[in-house]
A and B are shown apart, each in its own frame.
Chain A
């Protein structure tokens, strides 16, 4: 019985960064068709949309990072003051008034006068 030696390819033969061939592109196209048919529910559609959008727009897929810093006492006041200040965007805009007759004062007034709240 003859034993035939089979040479191995060099390590450099492995090349993942080779541009994708027409064969593989078409295989992907066929898999996409099959994948499309796998999506039956809105949840599955959302998951697919999320995954592809994340690939196309990675920045949008990152969760927002909320950094919690120890607030400096002076700065808290500053921010609180700024919160009440009108900005250029809100200047001149009428603030929406609260519906009348919902607060504590109105409730005690009603109690005193014996009136019931309109439902």
Chain B
């Protein structure tokens, strides 16, 4: 076993909101051709057939308002360009059309093609080029937040493709329950930002297993004291609100929240781990986005192992049944650890959010059968901790 894996005691997952790979990291192709970003020639037709090209003009805020549609029917249009035939092929040509549908404003609809120049996202682009960036990490469902986050917690959404309530079905358990019930037992937590922001995993976990939760202040304290659980999931601040220390700005990067605030939050999570040398040595941090938020990406999502569930035509909103046999749009994903070689680009492999419980379960428990077909088929990522000696050149952020 490589020494990085030997040393690995903690896996931390930070899941942000609603940005596509190309939107956040597409500019990195110009820095490193191995990164599957943008050439600058990618385009989408508008409703008149005119081609709207990608452009490095993304802004931190006030640009993607209204929130681009990312519910199942809209994402279906974005991926297939409006083709509903049985022989259709994913072509990523429906993003401008989809955004146009919301306001019928052709000029505004073109903004869905904008991406950030790398200088505007110093935290995310630095981590992507310093550690491991995934060329093929896809959201689990071509749909919205709740069902995609479910895959990160359970390895399945139990047939859900929307924001509706869903209920856990036997025999599948959350990764937290698995770890705690394992022999020897492990520790696991979900850190939400604060009570005014709370968690997106309310009905099944917060309601019935509140002991799994703690706030972000506790995460910072646990990092300092070296009492971080074996596995933990960190949620950003989902809304602007007043706190004890003043105005607390949303840090989830969900449009139309400020992207810089999210950069600061990512940096604060990274710093909290890095500033404890023992923890830094023993921890892998995955930064990933739940779904693309309706924003352009050029890579067609691949087919995948069906999940054993089916969403009816009325549930999908397209009239067609969905068997969880295709992934959603590609999202940014970065693995941070001093045991990851600098400038790692993970290519030729497909990951999705079911890879998260799959990886944690494989590392901490080993063989574990009661998992969804999707999770069993999901690739795991700890092989990326391949260095024989720990790096000492990792950057710091002034947060």
Contacts and interface: CB of A to CB of B under 8 A. Distances in A.
In this complex, the interface size class of chain B, counting residues with CB under 8 Å from chain A, is 35 or more
B123 interface: yes
Given A3-B398, A23-B254, A30-B165, A8 B202 contact: no
A9 B123 contact: no
Contacts of A82: none
B261 A4 contact: no
A3 B67 contact: no
Interface in A1-54: 1-9, 13-16, 18, 21-24, 26-27, 29-31, 33-34, 37
A6 B61 contact: no
Given A1-B394, A13-B249, A34-B203, A8 B163 contact: no
B192 to A, nearest CB: 11
B260 A37 contact: no
A3 B270 CA distance: 13
Contacts of A8: 260, 264
A1 to B, nearest CB: 6
Interface in B153-186: 163, 165
B163 A16 contact: no
B397 A4 contact: yes
Contacts of A23: 17, 67, 144-145, 163, 238, 254
Contacts of A13: 60-61, 249, 258, 260-261
B238 A27 contact: yes
Given A15-B240, A23-B238, A27-B238, A6 B165 contact: no
B206 A34 contact: yes
A13 B203 CA distance: 31
Interface residues of A, number: 26
Given A24-B239, A30-B165, A33-B203, A9 B249 contact: yes
A8 to B, nearest CB: 7
Interface in B356-399: 392-399
A26 B146 contact: yes
Contacts of A24: 238-239
B207 A37 contact: yes
Contacts of A14: 240, 247, 249
B203 A16 contact: no
Interface of B: 17, 60-61, 67, 122-123, 126, 144-146, 163, 165, 198, 200, 202-203, 206-207, 238-242, 247, 249, 254, 256, 258, 260-261, 263-264, 267, 392-399
Interface of A: 1-9, 13-16, 18, 21-24, 26-27, 29-31, 33-34, 37
5 contacts: A2-B393, A9-B258, A13-B61, A27-B198, A34-B203
